[in-house]
Chains A and B, each alone.
Chain A
Amino acid sequence: MDLMAVTLHVNGSANRVEAESDIPLLWVLRDQLGLTGTKYSCGIGVCGSCMVLLDGMPAKACRITAAECAGKKITTIEGLAEQADHPLLKSWLELQVPQCGYCQSGQIIMAYALLSEKHDPSADEIDQAMSQILCRCGTYPRIRQAIQQASEMMRAKEPS
């Protein structure tokens, strides 16, 4: 298959890569750009470990091609983590959410997308969003707490 030139805007910088037309974004991020914070675990869009933000919306990097992402703004965990004082990351650290940590990039990206859309998600909305990311260590109770705590911190900052 012929390679095509694609420019990917990742975490604020433009990267020109040569890629197959059907290669998933996941493998370009990991193998070509060295952004290994985005994880491979299932490759079929079920586990959510490879979640990234595409123009601010959550997207599974194993299910979209790099070509489809041309011209879009891609944020990986490495980019998101630059906002180290974001309430979500602070809560995540304070509640010591990760265990092995492998799925946590996906968890954090998903929670970030959820809270960006809605600062005060309902329990049901948290369920719907976060059930897309699997965690084998069982950090779910702490993820729930961290999202609730971050939500409270974000709302406390909002002008009333």
Chain B
Amino acid sequence: MSAANGSGANGNGANGSGVNGSGPHGGRESGVPARQGDRGEVIDVRRGMFGARNGGDTSGYGGLVRTVRMPGASARPYGGWFDEVADELEGALEEQGIVPENAIERTVVDRGELTFHIVREHLPVVARTLRDDPALRFELCTGVSGVHYPQDKGRELHAVYHLRSITHNRLIRLEVSAPDADPHVPSIVDVYPTNDWHERETYDFFGLVFDGHPALTRIIMPDDWQGFPQRKDYPLGGIPVEYKGAQIPAPDQRRSYS
């Protein structure tokens, strides 16, 4: 029990420091070997376990620190047709007078999927290029999916697009981020009209405003709804339920593993 309230000492050890030093504890404890998975984009640092915040920590779990890292940028070659698509896209952007590095923040290859992180101002141009260039020809956009990373400061809201090329039988992902303080992303409805409802849905659930959308209104929730339900700071709701004599808390009040 002596380690019960040892704040962070165990955590740093267990966490290690990244070889690229991108973690919040980077630079300290250089003697600890880098663990696999220490590379990547840090989106959050979680402390403790079970979500317990108040009361004395008698378990020692309160000292746990877990850094959440999403897969980071990949280096060339990406493999397979990924390089071809990346080359074509960069070439086509250069032809239009756009420096590819300014439009494409980074390229991630993970689990056999190719993701381009696009700077939001350039999204419509990139989407149009991907659709119209014969060598790219991503005709089908499967809509947009929002993701909320409240701890990733300045990049809280993500809009994720999956584009399918029926001609070349390929699938890529575009990811755009916007800060919570300025939740604006350009609409690509004029490139992919199918995104009309999808962008309304993402607006409805995340509050992401798609500039240029013809009629950005709520689509699933009632028009007078307050708040954006899929955001992480929006509670799930629910009431405690009695089951066999015990009170079972609402799902978002139950113990969870951080």
Chain A bound to chain B: no
Listed in ascending order, the chain A residues whose CB lies under 8 Å from chain B are none
